[in-house]
Structure formats: C-alpha cells, structure tokens
Amino acid sequence: MTILQAIQEANTAAGIKNLAFADLTEFNSFKDGFNELDYPINVVVPFTVNSLFLNNRIKDSVLIRGWVLTRLREDTNDFRRIKIEPDYINPMRIAAKKFVRRLLDSEVIDSEVEGVNASFVPEYQFLDAHLFGVSYSFTLPTKSHIC
C-alpha cells in the first residue's frame, strides 16, 4: 500500500465527502472548482518525505498537512457567533481526528514508533467568507526499509 492509497482509505473511513491535493498558493483558485455539494472536503498539501539512514535501514517520516473544511450556506456577517464552533468547526475537527487516527492504523505505519503528535487548528473564514473547519498537521512514521 502506498501513502496516497492510505490517505484515500483514511479519508473514506473518516466519512469526509471529498479529497483533494493542493498547496496554499494554488488553493485560492482551486477552491473555485468546488460547489456546495463537494463539502466537507479534505484538502491535503503534497507531502514531504524525510529519511533517516540508520544501521543499514531507512526510517521515513512523512509530514502530512491539510484542511478539513465545510461551506456555510448562510450569511457570514456574524461569523464570531457561538454556534459556529459546535455547528461547523467541531464536526470538521472530529472528522480530521478520525482521518488521522485511520491513517495511523494503516499498514504503511512504522510499528516501532510509539506516539504521534497532531495539531488541529480552527479555521474561521479560511480564504473565503463561507469556509470553516480545521487545519491539521502531523508527522507520519512509515515502515522501515533495508538499504
């Protein structure tokens, strides 16, 4: 299984409707390609692989970053209202955590590594007046290979 396949399976298992790859510089125009039916969406930044060569083995770690976002269907003049957190942000946070958890349960994970820190940051009106959700970041320890 590849990392991309593991990401696709984790996204489906987390119940996130769509998966896309984009970096922040292209996301502004990229988001215009989505309609309201495409949300919630998991937008993953193309990942970076770091390798450690140790005792004739390669230990890879993959930085996974992205956003789980949804689009509000209502006017966002008062985006600071208290209902934004439970109605829009928290469901995206839960979906992002499910995605990370499922990815950490995949067969690409290095079982010798214990514990992975993940960060989930709320995103209010992310690049658009109607996009809300969370950004996430974590380092995925992948299986070792013999050099």
Strand partners, 141: 61
Q: Of 48, 42, 62, 46, which Cα lies nearest the Cα of 135?
A: 42
Domain residue ranges of the chain, discontinuous segments joined by +: 3-146
Structure tokens at 128: 């658009």
Q: Over its length of 147 residues, how does the chain's per-residue pLDDT go in tens digits? A: 888 999 999 999 999 999 988 776 666 666 666 777 778 999 999 888 898 888 888 888 999 999 999 888 776 666 566 778 888 899 999 999 999 999 999 998 888 888 899 999 998 876 665 788 999 999 999 876 654
Among candidate residues 44, 45, 70, 66, the one with its CA nearest the CA of residue 125: 70
| CATH number for domain 3-146, candidates 3.30.2000, 3.30.70, 3.90.640, 1.20.1740 | 3.30.2000
Contact of 102 with 136, CB cutoff 8 Å = no
